[in-house]
Structure 1
């Protein structure tokens, strides 16, 4: 693994409970903007970072793995002086959050996965692999994935905006390499049994990372795990239902305490 670095990041709040926020495959750190706009900065300090090859870190080369994301996130926590912290991860970022738990279990206070990819990978069949690999260079494949994972129910304008953002905010080599890691790599045995308080948030309209998937993974692996299903969301709850999502996340984090 290359040497961890402190990547471009956005801070919100000055609260005593530090929270690292890790974005998904189609986003960058601005994916958390709908949440951070209304987050409780008195209780929490949120740090949303770009990953190598994404956002303002598009020029930062690396291996483009979720383990590398976790190591860079730990470097950010060290930079911020956080001895302990919580971590929130969306989709691919949810798998990176589990990597972070494996890397520094004594430092992770709580973990939240928003439609998180399990540490065991995505379990793709050959057709799914073909579609997701095509998305590296084909905008139509990206649109099809976003539409599928939000239940074929959202506007064409929104779908096109998500595709355009994903093309603008990531490099093709990073996008391709992260896919092979988050979809294919299985390290769940290294985190199974962790007592960390863990919240899995699933969108009712997401057929890929559904509540049933969370029950078969997070709720089986983590003895202190909870599941919350957002009925009006698919895979992108941060865009679809930001305020209900924020309430669920902050209430869960607050239940673990706010002392530094």
Structure 2
């Protein structure tokens, strides 16, 4: 999304409609016993420690995207109460994903960008198939509250990109760009997307924009999935290298790489 209105329209209004439908079914005794909401680590807020942000930490979003996700949780939580279980994944990757596709495409030429000149920028990540496993775990009757999910690792963003490059048989040149420069490029990208929208051009907002910059200028994005493992038996099946290999093979099958 280019701004607050995009996220409010796409997330909050949809959540209100779903909550109303759920309450109508509930009044008729036909509502399901459980709803699993896939939210985002953006609703939790940034964290740069290897242990990661815990399930009991209060939500502290820094972007319009993150605030809209937290609003969805609150809207549905008021309607469903304890019948709602929330899953907050970090970076999700895998074949079919379009969010990270531009990074994979850039790494075909061996180049990727990390935010900040002298920062490690640690992140958590998880393959899409393991997110599916986590969702199934959250359907168990003992599931409750908010769970974070990851693949068990904590990666510097540069190392995450190098794993992408390895899966494509490339060597990665990591450009560590100043935050002021990235902020300027995000502003220009957002203005360009807004201009196209004003001219009636339909389509996806630019992947890089001011809202993504608000997240990129933080110190890191890590989370703790220990409660999901201990309470619900979640166990990731794919390592980072295995997951990246699957992603690359899938992109190539679809003709995207």
Between structures 1 and 2, the one with greater helix share: 2
Higher relative CO (Cα under 8 Å, sequence separation at least 6) belongs to 2
TM-score by length of 2: 0.33
TM-score by length of 1: 0.33
